[in-house]
Amino acid sequence: MKVIGIVLVKNEDRFIERVVRNIVQFCDKIIILDNKSKDNTFEILTRLAAEFCHIELQRIRDVDCSHGFLLPYVNGDYWIFAVDGDEIYDPGGLKLFKERLKKGNYDRWWVIFGNVLNCTEINEKKGYAKGFLAPPSRSMTKLYNFSIIESWKNPRGERLKGGTICFKNGFNESLRYDLYKEIQFDDSYFRCLHACFTWRSSLDRKTSNCVSGRPNITESHGIRIREWMLRILFGRQPVSKWKLERYARGPLVFKDVTPFFPNE
């Protein structure tokens, strides 16, 4: 069993080094695709790729090609771990989690959803983060069992989206394990700080309230150019209604996040 990481990023220079370093031991290979970043993201990733030989770094012009990088792993003994540039995982927890994956504890599942704190604030120096927990918010972790599928054809947009999946006998798309509903965040070995409601790039406007979140790729394609330019000219951050509806449920909570920022 091997874990293949695929990281899709655009303008993520605030967190991207921590994102990659926290998964570098969990993944046997990491494919990083930079979608035309204009901040320091690609420079940071170039340095990390030189440091870790199992990182494959490429620049892409269109996210629609990203799923193609995963086709060689279909029907093989692989877990595909898709990570975005605002997803910081607990590296110690991932170490324990990989032991469970190797033992085959989750072989009958198609996808696993872990614990998430959708963050409105991350204070690395003081070791805390504030945000909305999943549950009641939606979990967005992306860990797929490619050993139970025979093909994945005609995906739509970025990797692991849409298309037609052909499962092996006895398996189907409904085999979704909601681990985050069984384990509390503080006790979880598969947990993530989702920095979706914070500024993520040196190019972002650093407002005191970023709870609107950056629009995801699908939303960005749907925003008219004129509307986008007006928002930029008047200093307003684009709003992600999709994220607000799914990731901002329940009360705001504070969590100790020192395990997510180890001293290396």
226 neighbors 103 (Cβ within 8 angstroms): no
Identify the CATH number of the domain in which residue 17 sits: 3.90.550
Alpha-carbon gap, residue 254 to 175, rounded angstroms = 32
Number of structural domains in the chain:
1
64 neighbors 158 (Cβ within 8 angstroms): yes
Q: Percentage of the chain surpassing pLDDT 70?
A: 86
Per residue in 235-260, pLDDT (tens digit) is 555 556 778 888 999 999 999 999 99
**Distance linking the first and last C-alpha atoms of the chain:** 27
- Give the pLDDT of residue 229: 57
- Arithmetic mean of pLDDT, 90-115: 98
Cα torsion for 105, 80, 176, 216, to the nearest 10°? 150
Classify 154 in phi/psi space as left (phi over 0), alpha (psi -120 to 50) or beta. left
Q: If you search the block for the tokens 């996808």, which residue do you land on?
A: 111
Which among 239, 209, 244 has a CA at the least distance from the CA of 223?
Answer: 239
Per residue in 3-58, pLDDT (tens digit) is 999 999 999 999 999 999 999 999 999 999 999 999 999 999 999 999 999 999 99
Least trusted range by pLDDT, from 43-57, 118-132, 161-175, 208-222: 208-222
Angle at CA 138, nearest 5°, toward 133 and 143? Answer: 105
Q: Which residue(s) pair with 252 in the sheet?
A: 132
43 neighbors 55 (Cβ within 8 angstroms): no
The residue range of the domain holding 22 is 2-260
